[in-house]
């Protein structure tokens, strides 16, 4: 689509979103992250029509929305009347299924300049394809994956990594501010946010594995985990995995490690992101030795029945393996 047509669409979207507090938003995907994001949009004063394959997830969001969330009976029913729609889906496969086709979100937008904000972590190439389809359908699409975890999602402290025209990013910014503390425009190319996200999550996996090993070694050297964590977080070993999301139960209250590694960012999802990073590295002929090892480790943990546990469960996995060898 010519640049002037994209400009026209973004102008339509800007007018629509500028009055979003008095109109309708849509939200699809109410998992561990999406549920809190949708709830925070409602708490910020927006009317939000929600959909998820889980009725229990829908009911939970509606109950916590201060009366501002309503229920859609299908994914594409969140679109009519909505100035913007946020999606938070498991993978690119679901993004393609929900956005494309005669009964998809783009078709339901009917050329009204609807702004679609996709916070799914997926393949940059899929985002580019959906953005092209969105333009053809008279809509605007940007990718906006997030970082921060379930606690940040609950407290509206997420970081958004966004790819797409700066004009579209500026339109989305007020909505992103209701769900997060920071939004970063990673590039005019749709998919730039996804590229930044898979780089971030590869580093996150490596740092979490290293933190787990350091904390496990410290335990066997007779160190109190709380004391070791204090040392790490006041020293050069400090990182998000040690300070905010420590993998040892009891060191940081409220994180998944302190509730038997339930909830949080699942090992299966981390493995998905690591495979995306490895695929991108292979495609661009970039060596990612640590990322490759991390991918192997999370694959091993998933094979050992830990796919549905938080990705910090590697600490427990190490302890279990140590106990078996003794």
Q: Which residues are catalytic?
A: 197
Angle subtended by helix axes 267-283 and 192-220, to nearest 10: 120
Where helices occur in 84-191 by DSSP H, the ranges are 92-99, 105-108, 124-136, 149-154, 166-177
Dist CA 112 CA 80 (whole Å): 9
Q: Which of 314, 212, 210 is nearest to 271 (CA)?
A: 314
Closest by CA position to 312, among listed 233, 246, 229: 246
State the Cα–Cα distance between residues 39 and 65, nearest whole angstrom.
5
Cβ neighbours of 5 (radius 10 Å): 12
E strands, the chain, are: 24-28, 47-51, 69-71, 82-87, 115-118, 140-143, 146-147, 158-163, 180-187
244 three-class SS? coil
């Amino acid at each position: 689509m010519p640049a002037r047509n994209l400009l026209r669409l973004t102008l339509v979207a800007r007018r629509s979103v500028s009055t979003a507090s008095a109109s309708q938003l849509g939200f699809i995907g109410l998992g561990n992250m999406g549920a809190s994001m949708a709830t925070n949009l409602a708490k910020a004063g927006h009317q939000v029509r929600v959909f998820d394959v889980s009725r229990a997830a829908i009911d939970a969001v509606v109950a916590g929305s201060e009366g501002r969330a309503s229920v859609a009976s299908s994914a594409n029913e969140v679109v009519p009347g909505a100035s913007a729609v946020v999606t938070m889906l498991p993978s690119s496969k679901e993004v393609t299924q929900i956005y494309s086709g005669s009964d998809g979100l783009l078709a339901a937008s009917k050329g009204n300049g609807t702004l679609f904000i996709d916070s799914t972590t997926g393949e940059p190439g899929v985002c580019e394809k959906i953005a092209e389809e969105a333009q053809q359908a008279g809509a605007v699409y940007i990718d906006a994956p997030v970082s921060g975890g379930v606690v940040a999602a609950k407290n509206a402290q997420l970081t958004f990594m966004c790819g797409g025209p700066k004009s579209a990013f500026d339109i989305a910014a007020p909505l992103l501010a209701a769900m997060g503390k920071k939004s970063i425009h990673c590039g005019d190319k749709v998919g730039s946010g996804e590229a930044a996200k898979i780089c971030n999550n590869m580093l996150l996996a490596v740092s979490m594995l290293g933190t787990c090993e350091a904390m496990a070694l410290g335990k066997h050297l007779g160190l109190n985990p709380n004391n070791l964590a204090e040392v790490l977080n006041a020293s050069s070993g400090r990182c998000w995995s040690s300070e905010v999301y420590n993998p040892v139960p009891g060191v940081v209250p409220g994180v998944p490690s302190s509730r038997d590694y339930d909830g949080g960012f699942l090992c299966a999802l981390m493995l998905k992101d690591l495979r995306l990073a490895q695929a991108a590295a292979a495609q661009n002929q970039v060596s990612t030795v640590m990322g490759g090892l991390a991918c192997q480790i999370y694959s091993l943990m998933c094979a050992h029945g830990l796919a549905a546990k938080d990705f910090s469960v590697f600490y427990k996995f190490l302890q279990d393996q140590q106990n078996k060898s003794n």
